[in-house]
Amino acid sequence: MAKALASIVSAGCSVFGKREGLSSRELFVEAFHEALERCPDLDPRRDIKASFIGHVYQGYEKQGHLAVALADWAGLTPIPSTRIENACASSTVALRVAVASIAAGFYDIVLVGGAEKLTTLSGIESQDLANTFLDFPTEQWNGISFPSVFAMVARAHMHKYGTTERQMAQVAVKNLSHGIMNPKAAMRKELSIEDIMDSRVISSPIKLQECTMLTDGACCLIITRADLAESFTSIPVDIIGMGQSHEKIGLAGRGDLAIPMAAVRAATEAYQMAGVGPEQIEIAEVHDCFTIGEILAYEALGFCEFGDGGKLLEEGATYKDGRIPVNTDGGLKAKGHPVGATGAAQIYEIYLQLTEQAGERQLKNVDIGLAHNIGGNLSSCTVTIMKRRR
């Protein structure tokens, strides 16, 4: 197995949902406080040397330059503070550049995170903002929205592999059944397959309850040089593999829509770097912004053959007590989707599980976890593989 690129020594996450009266700044500080409480040996002003922040909906809060604002509110000025935007994959791309900066010797200890404030947007406004992550000339201009992109992909998958609408609905059922154990999730309510199937059609075959909600939220991670990690925690979580890949910005430029090539390539890179294969992954967080996204992820990550994602779910393999538990925190479906914070929150769940801090939803004996984070219309993907040190 590969050596650690860097290590996670603490993490914090705000409650996700409608956080009335709180901006990205307060939410980020809420997450940061949790990370500090977990890590009493860290003196943030002495130890943290840089921050890398995922943030997407710039302009909505009338606050660009957000990495600098968040570092200020976290009491960390003047450390180098950098904002990354790669649509919904922003904070895991931030993690990648942070890890590179540590590996390069620029810094020993850094803060990685994300923050977003979205719930005071109207439905139309949030659609408009989300749509800017699609290709302008071939998609936005033609009235194609996020649900319709994923509907096209779902149709392609149904056509090629026979994936069913009930299988897709079951993704939401599973994730909501996990989410009721997550006190930070925005939607803590179980629904049946029928509830999902009967919810109104947004863009056929995608129904309302197959979409995630855009919420407010923030998350942060404390990342150190691997050899320093044990000064701050008794259970470091080593980052042993990372992948980042892309597809052409518009769906029209791609090949087979049923195979998410950015994810396939990112997974290949991450597995090779980590020196592990899919059969060694004991827990995964995957990007279920729409239910089809999770089925695509199973296949791209090698948890099953291409086309067998729906069956893997039906067999129960990805439930909390299954062979390869996926989205034990409820996924984007239950947690909600504060876009810039979403990727970091996936890493947060893996960190909690590997360090036995996941409370009611804690898995037993998990050492290796993976996070899969999609950006835009599947045009960005990162895969991160982590291993608990023993």
**Footprint of a second copy on 168-197 (CB under 8 A):** none
Which of 84, 223, 226, 300 touches a second copy (CB under 8 A)? 84
Is 13 a known active-site residue? no
Among left, alpha and beta (phi > 0; psi -120 to 50; other), residue 277 is beta
Give yes or no for residue 385 binding a second copy (CB under 8 A).
no
Helix/strand/coil for 277: coil
Give yes or no for residue 85 binding a second copy (CB under 8 A).
yes
Report the alpha-carbon distance of residue 156 to residue 52 in Å, rounded. 36
List the catalytic residue out of 13, 39, 88, 220: 88
Residues 6+ positions from 25 with CB-CB distance below 8 Å: 69, 70, 73, 115
**Footprint of a second copy on 252-281 (CB under 8 A):** 253, 261-262, 265
Q: How far is the CB of 98 from a second copy (least distance, A)?
A: 9
Q: Which residues of 331-345 are buried (b: 16+ CB within 10 A; e: fewer)?
A: bbbbbbbbbbbbbbb
Which of 132, 164, 192, 357 touches a second copy (CB under 8 A)? 132
Q: Are strands 217-224 and 206-207 parallel, antiparallel or unpaired?
A: unpaired
Amino acid at site 164: T
Which of 2, 18, 82, 280 touches a second copy (CB under 8 A)? 82
Structure tokens at 269: 């890179």
Q: How far is the CB of 336 from a second copy (least distance, A)?
A: 20
Is 337 a known active-site residue? yes
Residues 6+ positions from 17 with CB-CB distance below 8 Å: 119, 185, 186, 215, 216, 217, 336
Give yes or no for residue 371 binding a second copy (CB under 8 A).
no
Give yes or no for residue 378 binding a second copy (CB under 8 A).
no
Residue ranges that bind a second copy, judged by CB under 8 A = 56, 58-59, 61-65, 67-69, 71-72, 77-87, 93, 96-97, 99-106, 129, 131-133, 135-136, 140, 244-250, 253, 261-262, 265, 375-376, 379-380
